[in-house]
Amino acid sequence: MVSKMGVLKFLSRNMTSFVAQASRDNAILTLARHQSVLSSKLVYSEYGDPPKVVRQEKEELRKPAEHEVMIRMLASPVNPADINTIQGVYAVKPKLPSIPGNEGVGEILDVGNGVTDLKVGDRVVPKLNAWGTWRTHAVCNADELMKISDKIGIVEAATLTVNPCTAYRMLKDFVPLSEGDSVIQNGANSAAGQNVIQLCKAWGIKSVNIVRNRSDIDELKKFLTELGATYVLTEEELRTTDLFKKGVLVRPKLALNCVGGKNALEVMRHLESGGVMVTYGGMSREPVTVPTSALIFKDITVRGYWMTRWSNENANSPERSRMFEELTNLIIERKLNPPKHTLIGFERYKEALSNAMSTKGFVGMKYIFDFQI
Amino acid sequence: MVSKMGVLKFLSRNMTSFVAQASRDNAILTLARHQSVLSSKLVYSEYGDPPKVVRQEKEELRKPAEHEVMIRMLASPVNPADINTIQGVYAVKPKLPSIPGNEGVGEILDVGNGVTDLKVGDRVVPKLNAWGTWRTHAVCNADELMKISDKIGIVEAATLTVNPCTAYRMLKDFVPLSEGDSVIQNGANSAAGQNVIQLCKAWGIKSVNIVRNRSDIDELKKFLTELGATYVLTEEELRTTDLFKKGVLVRPKLALNCVGGKNALEVMRHLESGGVMVTYGGMSREPVTVPTSALIFKDITVRGYWMTRWSNENANSPERSRMFEELTNLIIERKLNPPKHTLIGFERYKEALSNAMSTKGFVGMKYIFDFQI
């Protein structure tokens, strides 16, 4: 016999929505009979080790006021930035006490009389950073949320706003790329890196993907190649490659860096004159080193990208809607797949927080709170 | 008694042109009677130590063909890039044998029948890099040269296309700057740095100028302040300054770097979020190191500037004419002054080449060939 949880898990992975729709409709009807809802939320009042400082609290939510909505969360991932924020080592330091969680998908349960652009049953994601997605229900202003398609699964929806958007913007906003151009990236097995590979494949851009050597390197190369990578090279292979010298590939105009240090320097060396390196992470904990000659004579530009800033600056921009539409379509066409993940019940949050930072397997394992379990 | 040479020197320094004009007219009339001119030029056939590999040669020049002009050089400086080019260590490696010299001013002696935009007596500078200014006379296509004002002295004209243009473009092309904005630069006593100071002063931009500590630091500070520097700090003073913390000065949007290494990093730290650091030199011979957090969270952009590339890409651009007009006007208004220099006869080229790279005084001493001595 298949349990309800099992069905929901299956559905979330398979992006089919008809059964889930029926299940949601029931929940909405049930709720509509009540005047208030008891929300369960995670909270922390001091920075520190996440499983220690984060606690669970209950809160009775009132009905939404005129321009407010009530939502129930469906799923929300535990991202590295969430952990770093709780640790107090991230660039964003929310006012404490704070509800953690930056990414996630919810469903509108109730709307105030003045709300016109959202209706009961709509799938939504928060527009702003640090909105606090780790709670079962919330009442907030309608303009804090953005409607997204319900044609994609909840895992895809819950992990849409960080990594796919990061990859999308880095490929769109720094260098004009056309079909046949190439892009080089390190940390290609990162969550954003996997999205870069898939978007490049979808857009006809060749991707050169650099990963660290490891015991299961062949398996990793196979995985990334199947995802759409044009080439996958270890750092050592990159040092001696003649891919560019032999003219097999045009030199990349864009390099994406989430490692830093020597690795970033090696990647930079292969850029075309006038090329741009965009840094969005620093896994090696070493800075980016740029030879003076690369700046002056090769006209290399070194920049950074932070999804949080873009999102906050583009909360209501048409470009944001365009991006979500394009990403959603790619997900529906199965050209963009969700990360490897483990769905976990909200009550088991300590387990999720403890394990989120440990690397499991060559592409990591994302813990996603499934509020329906 | 004042010699003719003395008069010419005086004139070149004092930007007065009436006596020089009469002198030039005589020379032109004298030449017009001849069909050919004997040019003396410097040449090198192998890279190496400049005084050793550079020799002087004579060449008889024919009359200019239809679209050609004949010019005589008036003055040409010995720049560090010239020395590095001859040494074979510069990014530009001319085909050998080559006539060195990238900067200088000449005067049109004769024009071909098809030349319409230049006439006898016009002051000109080469449009392209590696044109070879270290020769007394040349015949070349008219479109290799650009007419400049004869209202500025020959030293100002001979040193116009590298350092003043570098400073101008770096202040114009990377960040939009308005009156009251601030700019920070290291190596502020460099030739380009002195131009940056003067242009900032002329445009109402505050300049924060970083120099190395030295025995005559007070004298250097006084010199740069008189040139127009808003603040002059040593590297050590920069580390502990509260200029920006106290709100005395808005944080700079633009940093100009010709040093690299730790110094560049210190300078970068003071940039406003979203600011740009432009590297145009690397005197410390250390690369530019950029913290990952500065790229991601402070949105710092690191770029490079190379005057040679701009000039080659803008040989005939209207922007180039606009720049020369503006710089010329500033020179006429005495808001932009030529570098400290020594005029030296062309026959004494070995002395000039030997001494050009040695630093004399806190702002260096530029050797300028005066072809009229």
d(CA A139, CA A145): 11
At B358 the pLDDT is 72
Comparison of pLDDT for A7 and B238, the residue scoring more: B238
- Is the per-residue pLDDT at B67 higher than 90? yes
pLDDT (tens digit, 9 = 90+) per residue, A154-195? 999 999 999 999 999 999 999 999 999 999 999 999 999 999
* pLDDT band at residue A94 under the 50/70/90 scheme: very high
Spell out the domain ranges in chain A. 4-161+342-370, 163-308
At B370 the pLDDT is 97
- A293: which chain B residues are within 8 Å (Cβ-Cβ)? 91, 282
d(CA A187, CA A335): 21
Q: Name the DSSP class of A53.
A: H
CA distance B156 to chain A (A): 25
CB-based contact A290 B291, cutoff 8 Å? no
- Is the per-residue pLDDT at A14 higher than 50? no
At B19 the pLDDT is 43
d(CA B267, CA A324): 39
pLDDT (tens digit, 9 = 90+) per residue, B355-364? 887 766 677 8
**Architecture of the structural domain at A163-308:** 3-Layer(aba) Sandwich (3.40)
CB-based contact A279 B292, cutoff 8 Å? yes
- Is the per-residue pLDDT at A321 higher than 50? yes
- Is the per-residue pLDDT at B36 higher than 90? no
Q: What is the mean pLDDT of chain B?
A: 91
- Is the per-residue pLDDT at A246 higher than 90? no
At A19 the pLDDT is 43
Name the closest residue on chain B to residue A275, using Cα atoms: B303
- Is the per-residue pLDDT at B29 higher than 70? no
Active site (catalytic) residues of B = 90
- Is the per-residue pLDDT at B354 higher than 70? yes
Mean pLDDT of B199-223: 97
- Is the per-residue pLDDT at B24 higher than 60? no
- In this structure, are residues A81 and A66 in contact, taking their beta carbons and an 8 Å threshold? no
Q: Which residues pair with B276 in a beta bridge?
A: B254, B301
Distances (CA, A) of B230 to A118, B61, B182: 55, 50, 9
Mean pLDDT of B57-63: 95
- Is the per-residue pLDDT at A28 higher than 70? no
CA distance B115 to chain A (A): 34
CB-based contact B288 A292, cutoff 8 Å? yes
A4-161+342-370 falls under which CATH superfamily?
Medium-chain alcohol dehydrogenases, catalytic domain (3.90.180.10)
User: Among residues A44, A47, A90, A231, which one is catalytic?
Assistant: A90
Lowest mean pLDDT among B17-21, B101-105, B249-253, B307-311: B17-21
Chain A interface, best mutation among B266, B296, B305, by max A CB count within 10 A = B296
Q: What is the 3-state secondary structure (H, E, C) of B290-333?
A: ECHHHHHCCCCEEEECCHHHHHHHCCCCHHHHHHHHHHHHHHHC
Which CATH code for domain B4-159+338-370?
A: 3.90.180.10
CB-based contact A288 B289, cutoff 8 Å? yes
At A16 the pLDDT is 39
- Measured between CB atoms, which of B288, B292, B293 is closest to A290? B288
- B304: which chain A residues are within 8 Å (Cβ-Cβ)? 292, 294-300
Q: What is the mean pLDDT of chain A?
A: 91
- Interface ipTM: 0.89
At B362 the pLDDT is 75
At B4 the pLDDT is 45
CA distance A291 to chain B (A): 5
d(CA A327, CA A165): 8
- Is the per-residue pLDDT at A216 higher than 70? yes
Helices of type H across chain B: 4-14, 18-32, 50-53, 80-87, 154-158, 163-172, 191-203, 217-227, 235-240, 261-269, 292-296, 307-313, 318-332, 349-356
- A300: which chain B residues are within 8 Å (Cβ-Cβ)? 304
CA distance A332 to chain B (A): 31
At B28 the pLDDT is 54
Q: Which residue has the tokens 């909105």?
A: A131
